[in-house]
Structure 1
Amino acid sequence: MRSSQGTTLADPRVAATLVRPLRQTASVMLLLWTSGLSLLCWLWLALGQGFFWRTDLRLPPHRPAPARWPRVAVVVPARDEAAVLPLSLPGLLAQRYPGRCEVILVDDHSTDGTAEVARKLATDGGLPLTVSTPPPLPPGWTGKLWALRHGVELAGGAELLLLTDADIAHGPDLLAALVAGAEAERLDLVSQMARLRTETGWERLIVPAFVYFFAQLYPFRWSNRPGARTAASAGGCTLVRRAALERAGGIAAIRGAVIDDVSLARAVKGSGGRTWLGLAERSPELRVLSVRPYPGLAPLWRMVSRSAYAQLRHSPALLVVTVLGLAMVYLVPVAATVLGLVAGRPVPLALGAAAWALMAATFLPMVRYYGRPHPAALLLPFTALLYLLMTLDSAVQHYRGRGAAWKGRTYGAS
């Protein structure tokens, strides 16, 4: 067929002229649908995911003193922690606990003099300190959980166990507040998410999002609801009843877990226990503060990537779904906003901007909790991109045999 200008429809120039609008229309429709879907995702996340973005779950402000203060043992696993112990251990030894209490530091075969530093920090008038080293690590155990098991065995007749990390500084009234809350609410496990350091630029960018993503994955309100499937705790500060721990199978029940805090909460809750998880208070008397520094991007990257693929149960299918989900939820709103603005497409622009604004609004409470300026909430898509890359790197390191590496040890799938 020939046109009036002497060209045919088979002419490449004519075909290109006809195909170009179709491609443009398909691109616009793809942008329209993805931006609309992203906005729907954010509406569901904001309203249907246990209000994960709220930061109001703290210990009750008025906790009645129990009629009898139960005996408590604080168990601290430590491997090559000589640098941070002077910032953390004195706070544990200075706890103002009305009942009987002791601190057990388990030196997990350190090479930097951790045990010697701990013994030097023990002062007269504080809680008694025991420093012990466990037997060599057996197959199937992570180092931290083997150390915790050893400390729990040394705890003897303690009714409650405070499991904490060597890099966590505690306010002097924290232990009494945790015990009072557990006794008043008849809880088997009480945990607080420690406030992480936000002194460097990378810490200020990545740390608030780290806690935000954790809460999104394990909504605290769902975790605290008896009978709900969701269960989580924070390894830096977990008070657990010995009876509940034994009912759940003890530390041995989770011996190979890389994400041990979540595994512990699941074990306790799965055996009929009641658990509670919230954010740490800001007051110095009740603080739960991480003193471990992350001076650059590399140590923060390792902190996230060493357990990210384990969180996905080392499943390639879950990895693909997670990457696509992160892109849809966190990256599409920015892409739709920018492309809609550049191409003059008001509908994708409006949908993308609305999703981005809703994303920032849910992140704002966590930004305020960490004392960051409000505009920092708009940077969440960039931080989410970093987490996406960290997750991919975690999978790569796993298949190279270097996944879940920590303090000279590497753990595979559990």
Structure 2
Amino acid sequence: MSPLAWIALTSLAAWLWLLLGQGFFWRTDQRLPRRTAPAHWPSVVIVVPARDEAGVLPESLPSLLRQTYPGRAAVVLVDDGSTDGTGELARKLGEQCEGLPLTVTSPGDPEPGWTGKLWALRHGIALARTLGPDYLLLTDADIAHEPDSLRELVAAAKTNDLDLVSQMARLRVATGWERLVVPAFVYFFAQLYPFRWVNREPARATAAAGGCVLLRTAAAERAGIPESVRCAVIDDVAVARAVRRSGGRVWLGLAERVDSIRPYPRLVDLWRMVSRSAYSQLRYSPLLLAGTVAGLAVVYLAPPVAVYAAAVPGVPGSAVAGWAGLVAWAVMAGTYVPMLRYYRQTLWLAPLLPFTALLYLLMTVDSAVRHRRGRGAAWKGRTCPRPEAAPDR
């Protein structure tokens, strides 16, 4: 057989393994576990780090202030050096919205060794602890919550004795580039950290989604959060790992009441979002980068190439390569369908997954180049030079 045929067969074998042996990552049924109302609702403080978020706060912050939570709750928004009036706008919204009490504070510039978001969380968590809460809800400033979101999160944590409950917020999908790239972002994340593996005991993977993390205060103290993860770029995974290492129980699933409202209308916006942390996920290793590029090429790009080669007369081994590539491509598209349905997108996007994977491959390479040039992990005017990599699974 030709080399192309062997590559196509390797891709097919990889997809059969991914279909059955990678924790059924492609299924989207990991939602909040069973929950019942506790006899006594614990106290919660919601901590929101915010840097230049005036564009999204009018929608996201009122959704937190208007939570219909039966217990004692409050909101702490940390204005992380904003230049667009984020702090002033937050105070105005707090005065206009009847609901949970709001405190707006600012920590100043980060100390050496801290990423900006974790520095803001450190300040917000310290302030929250003065209120003596049983739980902390760490949520981003671009995340909007349904009115019963906090109640459902706490009920799930109490009913199942969980120390960390995290939901992957449903990301915004409105433009053409968002439709092409965003569902795949969650699909690839679930492939790397299968939710079933995260939620089982003993766990085979550990992760969280930083936009919505309900954390038991005692578990945060045991894990030394946020000091123990102060320079992590992929902070949500680092927090989950720290909690689990300290003996805590972690749960991760897809959201039903939590939505990201941040727009990524252009490809360049999505590119920056992915390339900011992709090389960190690979622990800044050129060897892992090379392996990742080769793996993506064989698993995602080889099937359509093999199918195309089968249509070209005279290519050796094209028949075997074509059939293997076609089946691999079909399995690939089939595993993507549940995520497209979750995002309420047309299923015609499923066969385009190889093209989307090519974009992610290029974003990952660009992330490595940016880190080599000292411009990695840049976000809203800040660059953290070569911060701590995401922990191993």
Normalising by the residue count of structure 2, what TM-score does the alignment of the two structures yield? 0.95
Q: Deviations over 1:93-114 (max 9, x none)?
A: 0000000000000000111100
- 1:348 corresponds in structure 2 to 321
1:297 aligns with 2:267: yes
Question: 5 Å matches for 1:85-234?
Answer: 85-122=57-94, 123=96, 125-155=98-128, 156=130, 157-234=132-209
Q: Deviations over 1:295-331 (max 9, x none)?
A: 1100000000000001101000000000000001000
Is the 8 Å Cα contact of residues 183 and 343 (structure 2) preserved in structure 1?
yes
The whole-number CA distance in structure 2 between the counterparts of 1:232 and 1:44 is 22
The whole-number CA distance in structure 1 between the counterparts of 2:217 and 2:263 is 32
Larger Rg: 1
Moved more, 317-326 or 147-156: 147-156
1:310 aligns with 2:256: no
SS at match of 2:277: helix
Question: 5 Å matches for 1:372-387?
Answer: 372-387=345-360
- 2:238 corresponds in structure 1 to 263
The whole-number CA distance in structure 2 between the counterparts of 1:238 and 1:357 is 35
The whole-number CA distance in structure 2 between the counterparts of 1:336 and 1:183 is 51
Q: CA deviation at 1:227?
A: 2.5
The whole-number CA distance in structure 2 between the counterparts of 1:124 and 1:140 is 37
SS at match of 2:353: helix
Q: CA deviation at 1:375?
A: 1.7
The whole-number CA distance in structure 2 between the counterparts of 1:227 and 1:374 is 35
Q: CA deviation at 1:136?
A: 2.7
Q: CA deviation at 1:341?
A: 2.1
SS at match of 2:48: strand
Is the 8 Å Cα contact of residues 81 and 108 (structure 2) preserved in structure 1?
no
Q: CA deviation at 1:75?
A: 0.1
Q: CA deviation at 1:225?
A: 1.6
Q: CA deviation at 1:254?
A: 0.1
SS at match of 1:134: coil
Structure 2: runs of 5+ lacking an equivalent: 389-393
The whole-number CA distance in structure 1 between the counterparts of 2:320 and 2:370 is 41
1:57 aligns with 2:30: yes
1:402 aligns with 2:375: yes
Q: CA deviation at 1:229?
A: 4.1
The whole-number CA distance in structure 2 between the counterparts of 1:52 and 1:171 is 26
Q: CA deviation at 1:343?
A: 3.1
Is the 8 Å Cα contact of residues 225 and 239 (structure 2) preserved in structure 1?
no
Q: CA deviation at 1:78?
A: 0.3
Q: Deviations over 1:151-174 (max 9, x none)?
A: 111112011000000000000000
Count of residue correspondences: 381
1:69 aligns with 2:44: no
The whole-number CA distance in structure 2 between the counterparts of 1:399 and 1:127 is 45
Q: CA deviation at 1:347?
A: 1.6
Is the 8 Å Cα contact of residues 66 and 97 (structure 2) preserved in structure 1?
no
Q: Which has the higher contact order (CA 8 A, sep 6+)?
A: 2
- 2:391 corresponds in structure 1 to none
Q: Deviations over 1:66-125 (max 9, x none)?
A: 111000000000011111100110100000000000000000011110000001111353
Is the 8 Å Cα contact of residues 313 and 413 (structure 1) preserved in structure 2?
no
SS at match of 1:371: coil
- For 2:198, the aligned partner's letter is S
- 2:332 corresponds in structure 1 to 359
- 1:413 corresponds in structure 2 to 387
Is the 8 Å Cα contact of residues 65 and 97 (structure 2) preserved in structure 1?
no
Q: CA deviation at 1:135?
A: 3.6
- 2:290 corresponds in structure 1 to 320
Is the 8 Å Cα contact of residues 314 and 413 (structure 1) preserved in structure 2?
no
Normalising by the residue count of structure 1, what TM-score does the alignment of the two structures yield? 0.91
Question: 5 Å matches for 1:322-341?
Answer: 322-341=292-311
Q: CA deviation at 1:226?
A: 2.4
Q: 1:251 to 1:347 in 2, by over 3 A?
A: same
- Which residue of 207, 219, 234 maps to 1:244? 219
The whole-number CA distance in structure 2 between the counterparts of 1:395 and 1:236 is 25
RMSD, aligned α-carbons? 1.0
Q: Deviations over 1:179-230 (max 9, x none)?
A: 0000000000000000111100000000000000000000011111223241
The whole-number CA distance in structure 2 between the counterparts of 1:246 and 1:135 is 23
The whole-number CA distance in structure 1 between the counterparts of 2:368 and 2:358 is 16
- 1:275 corresponds in structure 2 to 250
Structure 1: runs of 5+ lacking an equivalent: 1-27, 282-286
SS at match of 2:276: helix
SS at match of 1:280: strand
- For 2:218, the aligned partner's letter is A
